[in-house]
A and B are shown apart, each in its own frame.
Chain A
């Protein structure tokens, strides 16, 4: 297995984040160094406090009368990881494996997202990723591609970015969207990451976002959340879900947790809420 230890991973993410900081500082000074891993990008862009991925609504629908809030949360975390892996991960993998199909993947994922709020969140994250790519990484990777495939991937991102900019308001309904999952796959390809890392970081950061939301919603404390994030159990869960979806074509991506769609969709019915979703 590629990633042996989550603590190592965490340490590496921290290291890479600091390297990104350095990189940005140097970029400002027009001296772009050797490429940092894109893991840090993800850490910065995606850990949004605005979205709970249905956690807030889940808590409202499942009052912890019999079970403790913590075990109820662990149930949600597993369901949420299974769901993101079955619905979105095939698009990450397909984006990585076939970068030239990015526009089709973007359309098909848009067609498969049943909830407006989830759709908006995915688009916001995807466009942020394009922004970082263009401002920070494009200069070093697209100009000096790691391989031919990386060049194809860089071209695909640029094409989608152009399409997004030239997209008129009136046909926006069916126009290009810039969904996060396929873009993540393509950007990682352009930057020369391997597919396992690409998939693992995608699911790991979903887990991280859910845990951040749990802290903000008062389900657990920040140290407890870090403990879960660093746990072997979480890593195993993620590896298992990636293993299951490794060869799933995007046509067969789908929701394995029907109840989750209901919680996410009913978020807007909450009397009071602290998250957008």
Chain B
């Protein structure tokens, strides 16, 4: 792949092998001075750190006898503000013990541009009806991929509240985010993680409504001990697949070899493609005919325009986790007789009770709090989640307002 000309040779250049890779190590130098001992990245990825933006109050953490270190803010950027087909972003971050990091995406949503139609329709040997064929075959070259691998040492904390991913029509994207915590740390020495992962229906201004081909978001938290033994603590995985690989490959290539100027026509064709699911002739040979499957992504996300997950773990986010659980449990009961439109309106006790966000919170194993939500659009979800996190206050107290810049 052609590499861009670099005006100033970076001393770190040689350590980065491939485009789109980045590596960050945050260490705590004595006495209490967070320092990025490694910071490398390569086009189309860009990592911009900012230190000293926020200094937590001395008493801000009652959990630790020592003062928490100042959070370092890392901006995650890509040239053009999104990912093109074939782009592979690989970011590796190490937070050494007692460090804190805020990661945000200042460019707004992560745009997933559409997959080049020439590569998609002609891919050979696609076994119809098998999900794993998509990442496993030649399609991998035209799928945008992002991996984030964060190691979080004892007493260290990561606050990662990015903008949602916005997959454009026909796009294909897979993201794997792995967070590794210190298995030997107990109690208040544990690593803390706050991760938000959300995806929208696309560009609503252009009429997109879950029209992408494939989006997968996987978030894993692993515990690793000193000997390198790893154990999976939590896995959250969402797969949104239009299952178009189940269709005859020919109908797919016809459908997506259309440019933007033929958009109206394209949408008609997509309708055709969707109705084609019911045509017995298009079904995989191993599946008997006569089926009307609910294959479109919109059917599986209905009535939401954005879905997402918030993962909270560790002492720093304990208060927020408990707050979310309480808010969830105090929502009005569904089907209660007082809960109707013409009932006398009572003052909203909290933002969490507003009806336009459907959400759930649960304390799953290892103390994790898992919040899942669906909302009619991005603004609603952003307002709801930002409102709750601000109302609780501990994230701003520990990391500063800039941790919430995407909300």
Q: Is the CB of B360 within 8 A of A262?
A: yes
Assembly CA distance A40 to B218 (angstroms): 36
CB-defined interface of B241-280 with A at 8 Å, one 1/0 digit per residue? Answer: 1010010000000000000000000000000000000000
CB-defined interface of A108-138 with B at 8 Å, one 1/0 digit per residue? Answer: 1011111110010000000000000000000
B301 contacts across to A, CB distance below 8 A: 258-259
Q: Is the CB of B236 within 8 A of A114?
A: yes
Which B residues from 131 to 181 make CB contacts under 8 A with A?
131-133, 135
A260 contacts across to B, CB distance below 8 A: 300
CB-defined interface of B345-368 with A at 8 Å, one 1/0 digit per residue? Answer: 000000000000011111111100
Assembly CA distance A240 to B243 (angstroms): 11
Instruction: Count contacts on B: residues with CB < 8 A to the other chain.
Output: 60
Q: Is A24 an interface residue (CB 8 A)?
A: no
Assembly CA distance A253 to B300 (angstroms): 16
Q: Is B231 an interface residue (CB 8 A)?
A: yes
B-contacting 9-mer, from A187-195, A206-214, A218-226, A231-239: A231-239
Q: Is the CB of B237 within 8 A of A255?
A: yes
Interface centre among B246, B290, B334 (most CB of A within 10 A): B334
Q: Is the CB of B131 within 8 A of A61?
A: no
Q: Is the CB of B235 within 8 A of A112?
A: yes
**Of B129, B233, B238, B362, which is within 8 A of A254 by CB?**
B238
**Of A233, A239, A247, A266, which is within 8 A of B358 by CB?**
A266
A-contacting 9-mer, from B63-71, B116-124, B370-378: B370-378
B-contacting 9-mer, from A9-17, A75-83, A144-152, A157-165: A75-83
B-contacting 9-mer, from A26-34, A42-50, A178-186, A267-275: A267-275
Q: Is B336 an interface residue (CB 8 A)?
A: yes
Instruction: Count contacts on A: residues with CB < 8 A to the other chain.
Output: 54
Q: Is the CB of A1 within 8 A of B286?
A: yes
CB-defined interface of B72-98 with A at 8 Å, one 1/0 digit per residue? Answer: 000000000000000000000000000
Q: Is the CB of A239 within 8 A of B286?
A: yes
CB-defined interface of A50-76 with B at 8 Å, one 1/0 digit per residue? Answer: 000000010011000000000000010
Q: Is the CB of B335 within 8 A of A232?
A: no
Q: List 20 A-B contacts (CB under 8 A).
A: A79-B294, A79-B299, A86-B131, A107-B231, A112-B235, A114-B370, A115-B362, A173-B366, A232-B288, A239-B286, A240-B291, A243-B286, A252-B131, A254-B238, A255-B238, A258-B300, A259-B307, A262-B372, A265-B362, A269-B333
Instruction: For the complex of A and B, list the 9 residue pairs with the smallest distance between their C-beta atoms, beginning with the closest.
Output: A265-B360, A254-B237, A271-B333, A271-B336, A271-B335, A258-B307, A112-B235, A257-B300, A236-B291
Q: Interface on A for B, CB 8 Å cutoff?
A: 1, 57, 60-61, 75, 78-79, 82, 86, 107-108, 110-116, 119, 173-174, 232-233, 235-237, 239-240, 243-249, 252-262, 264-266, 268-272
